[in-house]
């Protein structure tokens, strides 16, 4: 931990505001729910497993 001399103040990074502004911007991309993304990932894993087992 860095100790500051008397009279100096620590400031938060200004990039935090930029990140918040980035996530507030609306985009034209399709909106996907987290549940749909997890379901697609599980389906992809199951397809790979089935193909792997079928190849044996």
pLDDT in tens, 7-19: 555 555 555 555 5
Question: Does 37 map to a domain?
Answer: yes
Res 54: pLDDT: 94
Residue 55 maps to a domain: yes
Predicted TM-score (pTM) of the model is 0.51
Task: With a cut of 60, say whether residue 4 has pLDDT above it.
Answer: no
In a domain, 11, yes or no: no
Helices vs. strands in the chain: H and E counts, helices first: 2, 0
Count of domains observed in the chain: 1
State how far Cα 30 lies from the chain centre.
Answer: 16
Q: Which domain holds residue 46?
A: 31-56
Q: Is the pLDDT of residue 40 over 70?
A: yes
What b/e string do you get for 9-44 counting C-beta neighbours within 10 Å, with b at 16 or more?
A: eeeeeeeeeeeeeeeeeeeeeeeeeeeeeeeeeeee
């Amino acid at each position: 931990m860095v100790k500051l001399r008397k009279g100096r103040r620590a400031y938060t990074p200004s990039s935090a505001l930029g990140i918040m502004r980035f996530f507030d911007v609306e985009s034209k991309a399709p909106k996907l729910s987290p549940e749909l993304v997890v379901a697609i990932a599980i389906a992809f894993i199951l397809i790979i497993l089935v193909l792997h087992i079928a190849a044996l």
